Structures are given as structure tokens and as C-alpha cells.
Structure 1
Amino acid sequence: MPDTKHPYPNNPYSRRKDEHIALATRFTGNGNGLTDVHFVHQSIPTVAATQVDLSTHFLGRQFPTPLYINAMTGGSAKGKEINGQLAQIAGRFHLPMAVGSLSAALSIPALTDSFTIVREKNPDGFILANIGADKSPAEARRAVALLAADALQIHVNTVQETVMPEGHVATDWLTHIAAIVQESAVPVVVKEVGFGMSQETLLQLAAVGVTTVDISGRGGTNFAAIENARRPGHTYDYLADWGLTTAQSLLESQSFQKKGTVLASGGITNPLDVLTALRLGAAGVGVAGFLLRSLMHVGLNGTSDLVSTWLDQLPALFALVNARDITELRRQPLWWEPEMSNYAQQRHLSLP
């Protein structure tokens, strides 16, 4: 039984976060679009898995693998437990890890330990703080300081805020983002929450100094459906398929990639998804909902074994397409399902 003296059970924010955790296991996307992108099979091997270098560079740091644990939770007793488990996995495999939104913790000190557990469990890890685009540079600094964070995620979530009963969409987000980027002492990444990013959005972000984005496409945790389930009357059910898939967003990001760094997330459920996202230009690939569901079903040890399997299989997949590293991977030929080719044509996008 939960300790009723603990601040979490009587806190509206904590109840909402626990609802998000429970609903995230039910509401996921109908495909991230990456299965519509195919490598052209090569029958003659020229690269062995032992020759593959998985390392990559983003947010000012070199990482041994392209995987990272993306923002999920915090702000409740259950969120603290999950964050602690994820931090242990991140530490074991040297994966960057982002926490869920720290917005409430900035005003409710009792919630902070559900986030700081990440630094406690992984004291030397690369940790990203996370705040909304409505926050000030001062609040951003507080969020970073709270975790001794190495980088900062600013999430943009217009669809979620539209559907969420407590939500609010303001038109000054870009101004806030610009101010935070200008004043931040740590690298900043602007992240969607599962609805993808368009070329127009990326141009807006680049214009105010953003150099790293997480396109977080449709196909993973569906916050339109989650918030709609929390809304009396479920009046926004028609927005369940809103947004751009992860694959579409990576196509939209091709111009941005020429000067900036793109991270990919949204419905990543296997190593082939990782390989394909890297081929389309991602410098790193984030996993969130899939890990959350794994923790719920097989616990910490089972989820840790799952990550280990992915990292064991990735070099074999690189070798399968005759790529020694990410640079060579991006030269390998692809073929596209008609739906993706049609999308690129309509949007006047080049297929990489």
C-alpha cells in the first residue's frame, strides 16, 4: 500500500503522471513509417560485425552507441521507481537518458526526488533535463541544476496541450526557446512528444539558434489518445492519427541535417528501426514507450537483457548492409514503398 503521508498520492500533478504511465501501455501508434523504407539487400558480405563501430556524436559528446533513453516520467512515486530503473539501465550500457518534464518539480519541491533519483542511480551518466517551451531561461537553469544535467530538452507538445483537460497552448513558445538557447550553459535539444516535425517547424527553430532537434514522430506513445482518455466525453478522438510519422519527419529534416543534428524517436521497437533511422540521418535514436512497457512486463532484469540484445544485434545489422560505421551506413541504397515516395513528392522533399 502507498504511504498516505507521502506528498505524491494527494498531488494532482502526480495523479496525472500516474495516469500517463498507465495509459501509455494502452495507447501506442499504428506504425512509425520506418517499415516503408527498405535497404537493398547485398548478397556478398564485405564487413564483419566485429569491424563495426557504433559510436556517434551529438550534444557535444561522443557516445559508444547511438541509443538513448528518451523522456518518459517523474513526479510520482511510480515515476520515481521507473526513473530509478531506467537510470540503472542507462548506467550499465552508457546510454544518455532524459527525464520527463520537470515543470512541476520547479514549483513543488516534494516532487524533485522522483527526478534526482536518476543522478543518484547513475552519477556519471549523461542526463538531459526536460522542460516545456513555456519556461524562462531562469527556470531552465534551475532544471539543469536540479539534476546536474549535461543537456536540456525543451519539449513542444501543441497536440497534447490541445487535448489535455489542463492544457494550454501559448503563441510565445518560440520566443522562450530562443531565450533559453541563447543563455543556456549546456547544449539544448528541442523535442516533439510523438507528433513529428515538419520542414517549416525546423526552419523556425533553426532561425532562433536551435542546432539539435528530436523529431519524435508519430508511431509511438500517443498523447492525443492518452489525453483524450482523460477528458470527459472523449471529444478529441478524431485526433488519434494526427501528426507526421518518424520516417516522414526524418524526410522533412533533410535540409536541417546539413547544418544541425537530428535525433530520432517515436515508435522505435527493434534494432532494424534504429538502423533505418540512422540511415535517414539521425545521429542518435531514442527509445521510450517500448522500454516502459518492457519494464511493466518483464521488470528491470528482463529489460536490461533486451537492451543488451539490441546492442549485440546492431553490429550484425550494420554488417548485413556492408557498413562499418554510421557514415558508411548513410551511403547504402534504399527503396521506398509508394506511400513514402508519394509523400516526398507532395512535400517536395528529396529521398536520401
Structure 2
Amino acid sequence: MIANRKDDHVRFATEQQRQLGGHHQFDEVSFVHHALAGLDRSEVSLTTRFGGLEWPVPLCINAMTGGSVKTGLINRDLAIAARETGVPIATGSMSAYFADESVAHTFSVMRRENPTGFIMANVNATASVEKARRAVDLLQADALQIHLNVIQETVMPEGDRSFASWGPRIEKIVAGVDVPVIVKEVGFGLSRETLSTLRDLGVRVADVAGSGGTNFARIENDRRDRADYSFLNGWGQSTPACLLDAQGVDIPVLASGGIRHPLDVVRGLALGASAAGVSGLFLKTVLDGGVPALVALISRWLDQLAALMTALGARTPADLARCDVLVHGELRAFCADRGIETSRLATRSRSYGTTHETIGGIR
């Protein structure tokens, strides 16, 4: 049954990707254009450092799948693409492996195909410390993701209905594994309050994983005989809303959920993320065109990321958080309601003086 569910998730997620389009709250974030702020391309580095980790690029293939023959082949192809481009990669939830060890190869194929890459294992918040260690060991993982999916579980016919233990379990896992723990949502966002709680639990990094990409409320509704929970399809906060809400919370954050192109990655980094994760679009690309198509797409994105950083005067991904940005529309209204000051973002480059290098041609 778990294998069937994993295959259903891939099918419905791919269908959603083909239907996505139109406005996204990332479009409500724009850069103030400073025409003389640019650098030489040779000065720009894509290396990003956060939470004691170092990635060669501020982009990863985020958690997707595993647990069936079909999804094992997908994980193989994703791992090859990660190996060829140098991007970190995460498995999907390893719950299927805990239920049936015969599907272990559908996850471990990632390490076999990507022996020196940065790989993240993925478990849910109900996992024991022993299961978390098994997941890390199977993949020789460099980090462990714990996903939070209360809304997905609520809509899922066979889903969990007991959530009170999740925080204490996360705290035990953080203390009980030998790799950094990254806690992520699955598409409904992490609020400022949740981020503060995760920080206090000892979590090293949080992936806000907001709405705007794959919608697991819709996916689980599609798996039902009747769409009893369709009213939850719009639940949650967008990724840019979560990033703005995270301002001032002392925990590094990653941006995933609705990333459509390199400009969205740069917008996410400018709003405080240390890196961005992509799932649905990369899944669609590898299913439609195979490994060569995904390698070409990721390579193009990395080149375009460097080009955008060069134009914006950002030597490193972290420097993008010094660039002036404007917040518009519903996203600005969200910030007003949450007490988030946005006007300072439009002039923050002035605060860095000479450390921001060139603004308007003046050093």
C-alpha cells in the first residue's frame, strides 16, 4: 500500500506541475535596480555556508520520493543529475523502508550513484531515534531532514492524527544522531513561532517549504474517493511570506516551495535564505526528458544564478541579503498584519556602506 501511495504522489505531483502557472507571491518581490552595482563575474562564488554546513551551490534537489520500483528509478536519475552538477540532494520520506526493508535499494541507490555528494536522508516527525539512525546509515547521509506535514496527514485517508509528540521526538532525534538535522515543511510553510520552537529544540537548519509548489493537500484529496478536504487546498503561507516572517529568528533557513526559475532563487536568498530547494519542477524535467534534460536545466540555472549575482553586486549568496528589495501586494499586507517592517528592505544597502562595494558608482 505504501508503494502505491508513493507512485500516486509522483503521478499527482507531476500533474500539478503541468497545471502550475500565473501569479505567485515571489512575483511580489522585486529588486531596486542600481545600474552601477555590478561586479566582474570572476569575483562571484556560489558557495554557501549555514548552520555549520558548506554547499558548493545555493541550490538543492529537495525531498521527493522512494519506496517503490518506479520511485527507485527516479531516485537513481536524480542522484546522477546531482552528481553531474554538484548540487546537494535529499531522498523522499523513508517511511516505506521502515515498513519493508526490501525497498532499501530505492533509497540507497542515491549514494551508489552519487558516492561523494551531499545527501540528506528524510524521515517524518514520528520516527524514533533508532529509525533516524538507520536512515542516516543506509545512505551514509551528510544530514537528516525531518519533515512536518500535519495538513497532509490530516487529509491523507490513512494519515496520522496524533501530533503532540512531534516536538519532543524531534528534540530526541537531534540529540541522538551524529549529523545535522534540518526540519522542513512539505508545502504549507513554517511560521516565526515554529522556527523559534525548532531553534530551541536544537535544530540546526529549517526549510520553510511554503505554499506555491506541490500541494499535498490536493494530492491526498485526489487519492480519496471523495474530495472531502478540498477546502484546505489553499492552506498555509507562501515561501516569501515565511522568509520575511523569519527575520530576526536566530536559525538559518532554506527556501523551497514554488521555486520556478533562478530569479525566484535569488529572491529567496535576498529575503534571507541560505539556499533554495526544488522538487516538483525537477521531477517533471527528469520524467519528461531524463537525466540529460535535468543536468542541462540545473547547469543553466547555476550559470544564471551567477549572472544575476554579478549584476546585483553580490559576491556570495549571503551578500544578496544586502540588496535593496521592494515588497508589494498581498505579501506586503501579510507583513503588515504580522508586524514585519518592509520599508527598510528597500534601502538596506546604505547600512552596509563600503562593505556593499558599489552603489550608484560610489565606493
Q: TM-score, normalised by structure 1?
A: 0.93
AA partner of residue 138 (structure 1): E
What's the offset of the Cα at 1:96? 1.1
The answer for the alignment partner of 1:201 in structure 2 is: 194
Number of corresponding residues: 339
* SS of residue in 2 equivalent to 1:286: strand
AA partner of residue 25 (structure 1): T
Q: Which deviates further from its counterpart, 153-162 or 104-113?
A: 104-113
Q: Is contact 1:68-1:286 (8 Å) kept?
A: yes
1:73 aligns with 2:62: no
Matches within 5 A, 1:42-57: 42-57=34-49
Q: Is contact 2:79-2:114 (8 Å) kept?
A: yes
* d(CA) in 1 for partners of 2:37, 2:166: 49
Over aligned residues, Cα RMSD in angstroms? 1.4
Cα offsets for 1:64-122 (capped at 9, x unmatched): 21011100000011111110011011111211110001112023011111000001100
Q: Is contact 2:146-2:182 (8 Å) kept?
A: yes
Q: Is contact 1:18-1:76 (8 Å) kept?
A: yes
Matches within 5 A, 1:105-184: 105-170=97-162, 171-184=164-177
The answer for the alignment partner of 1:18 in structure 2 is: 7
Q: Is contact 2:3-2:96 (8 Å) kept?
A: no
What's the offset of the Cα at 1:32? 4.7
The answer for the alignment partner of 1:221 in structure 2 is: 214
What's the offset of the Cα at 1:59? 5.0
* SS of residue in 2 equivalent to 1:233: coil
Q: Is contact 2:62-2:278 (8 Å) kept?
A: yes
What's the offset of the Cα at 1:138? 1.1
What's the offset of the Cα at 1:136? 1.0
* SS of residue in 2 equivalent to 1:330: helix
* d(CA) in 2 for partners of 1:327, 1:56: 7
The answer for the alignment partner of 1:343 in structure 2 is: 334
Q: Which deviates further from its counterpart, 326-335 or 303-312?
A: 326-335
* d(CA) in 2 for partners of 1:91, 1:190: 24
Q: Is contact 2:180-2:204 (8 Å) kept?
A: no
Q: Is contact 1:32-1:218 (8 Å) kept?
A: no
Cα offsets for 1:3-56 (capped at 9, x unmatched): xxxxxxxxx111110010000012356655211100011222531223211110
The answer for the alignment partner of 2:272 in structure 1 is: 281
AA partner of residue 96 (structure 1): P
AA partner of residue 103 (structure 1): S
What's the offset of the Cα at 1:312? 1.0
AA partner of residue 285 (structure 2): S
Residue identity (%): 44
Q: Which deviates further from its counterpart, 44-53 or 69-78?
A: 44-53
Q: TM-score, normalised by structure 2?
A: 0.90
1:234 aligns with 2:227: yes
The unaligned stretches of length 5 or more in structure 2 are 346-363
Cα offsets for 1:178-226 (capped at 9, x unmatched): 1111122110000100000111111221221123100001011010000
The unaligned stretches of length 5 or more in structure 1 are 1-11
AA partner of residue 48 (structure 1): D
Q: Equivalent of 1:92, from 72, 84, 87?
A: 84
Q: Which deviates further from its counterpart, 219-228 or 312-321?
A: 312-321
* d(CA) in 2 for partners of 1:255, 1:172: 27
Cα offsets for 1:112-147 (capped at 9, x unmatched): 110000011001111111000011111111111111
The answer for the alignment partner of 2:323 in structure 1 is: 332
The answer for the alignment partner of 2:358 in structure 1 is: none
Instruction: Decide whether aligned partners of structure 1 residues 209 and 318 sit closer, same or farther in structure 2, where only a CA change above 3 A counts.
Output: same
Cα offsets for 1:251-287 (capped at 9, x unmatched): 111122xx32101100111000110001111111101
Q: Which deviates further from its counterpart, 293-302 or 189-198?
A: 293-302
AA partner of residue 223 (structure 1): F
Q: Is contact 2:51-2:204 (8 Å) kept?
A: no
* d(CA) in 2 for partners of 1:118, 1:200: 34
What's the offset of the Cα at 1:328? 2.5
AA partner of residue 339 (structure 1): E
The answer for the alignment partner of 2:353 in structure 1 is: none
AA partner of residue 265 (structure 1): S
The answer for the alignment partner of 1:191 in structure 2 is: 184
AA partner of residue 167 (structure 2): L
Cα offsets for 1:294-316 (capped at 9, x unmatched): 11222211111011111111111
* SS of residue in 2 equivalent to 1:131: strand
Q: Equivalent of 1:290, from 281, 286, 308?
A: 281
